[in-house]
A and B are shown apart, each in its own frame.
Chain A
Amino acid sequence: MDKFADDTDRKLCIIVSKGTLDGAYPSLIMANAALAEGIETHLFFTFWGLDVITEKKMGHLPVTPVGNPSMGMPQAVAPMPGMATVATKMMKKKIHDLDVPDIEEFVEMLSDMGAHLWACRMTVDMLDLDEGDFHESVEAVISAGDFIEMSEGAQLLFT
């Protein structure tokens, strides 16, 4: 007997298209929540979302106050040198203080939880990357068509 078993056969597919901290974390957190519920979860990283799984970049995702009025910085000041660095540092510290893992550890954790991670073929070609540039938990570089086939019957999130 398993009182928490469900027979809904739920499946979640998330398209991650942003490579900023405020763009990436929501997707990773949703994926984490879904996996903890035993939901089959796939993440498809495309355009700047690819940075989230690129070894050289995943540790350095930024957040910028430019064009981001929600951060509360006057937009005339936001583009000044060093502002993005300060904002990134602050957000990373806040996230760390909440005991939420940094991006690298988060990706590893999702993989340990059974997430399926995929890189977008077109973006990989556009940015002159290859499979070796990605975190080891990435299963393969696949096309948009492959992902659409894979997501049949799934709930889909575009972020």
Chain B
Amino acid sequence: MATETLAGTTVEVDDEGFFVDPSNWTEDMAPELASHVGVDELTEDHWTVIKFCRTDFAAKGESPTLRRVSTEAGVPTKQLFQLFPKKPAKKMSYVAGVPKPKGCV
């Protein structure tokens, strides 16, 4: 199993870099994770998405899809593509330390 050192802590990650155990994630790891996926600065809107991913994963046991973030967290689809360019579904989960989303829509 691969590991990664973030904010001074070593955590286990899968082949694609997603957290094996989402409970290892802390907020101070997010900026470094974001820098791995081409997001240089985390704005308030980024945090809205990240926090929703965290709470939704905790509640549902699976990572939210783009549609869930847009309908439940109120962040429009277009904006998700601006916040996490090209591959928002993967990137928001990656930065939030939750598994790669499995939902189709």
By a beta-carbon cutoff of 8 Å, the part of chain A in contact with chain B is 1-5, 29, 32-33, 36-38, 98-101, 109, 112-114
Counted as pairs of residues, one from A and one from B, with CB atoms less than 8 Å apart, the total is 55
Cα-based distance from A99 to B81 in the complex (angstroms): 21
| B105 and A37 contacting across the interface, CB-CB below 8 Å | no
Q: List 30 A-B contacts (CB under 8 A).
A: A1-B38, A2-B37, A2-B86, A3-B17, A3-B36, A4-B37, A4-B86, A4-B91, A4-B94, A5-B38, A5-B86, A29-B105, A32-B105, A33-B104, A36-B87, A37-B87, A38-B87, A99-B67, A99-B68, A99-B71, A99-B105, A101-B105, A109-B70, A109-B77, A112-B76, A112-B77, A113-B66, A113-B77, A113-B81, A114-B81
User: Which of B71, B77, B78, B90 is within 8 Å of A4, CB to CB?
Assistant: B90
| A36 and B88 contacting across the interface, CB-CB below 8 Å | yes
Where chain A touches its partner, the secondary structure class is loop
| B38 and A29 contacting across the interface, CB-CB below 8 Å | no
- List the 5 shortest-distance A-B pairs measured between CB atoms, nearest first: A38-B86, A2-B38, A112-B77, A36-B89, A112-B78
Cα-based distance from A3 to B36 in the complex (angstroms): 6
Q: Say yes or no for B48: interface residue by CB 8 A criterion.
A: no
Per-residue CB proximity of B69-105 to A under 8 Å, as 1/0?
0110000111001000111111100100000000011
Q: Say yes or no for B55: interface residue by CB 8 A criterion.
A: no
Chain A residues whose C-beta falls within 8 Å of the C-beta of B87 in the assembled complex: 4, 36-38
Chain B residues whose C-beta falls within 8 Å of the C-beta of A38 in the assembled complex: 85-87
Where chain B touches its partner, the secondary structure class is helix
Cα-based distance from A29 to B81 in the complex (angstroms): 18
- Least CB distance from A21 to B in Å reads 14
| A3 and B67 contacting across the interface, CB-CB below 8 Å | no
Interface centre among A1, A4, A100 (most CB of B within 10 A): A4
Q: Say yes or no for B9: interface residue by CB 8 A criterion.
A: no
Chain B residues whose C-beta falls within 8 Å of the C-beta of A33 in the assembled complex: 104
In the complex, besides A1-B37, A4-B87, A38-B87, 19 extra interface pairs with C-beta distance below 8 angstroms are A2-B37, A3-B36, A29-B104, A29-B105, A32-B104, A33-B104, A36-B88, A37-B90, A38-B85, A38-B86, A99-B67, A99-B68, A99-B105, A100-B105, A109-B70, A112-B81, A113-B66, A113-B77, A114-B81
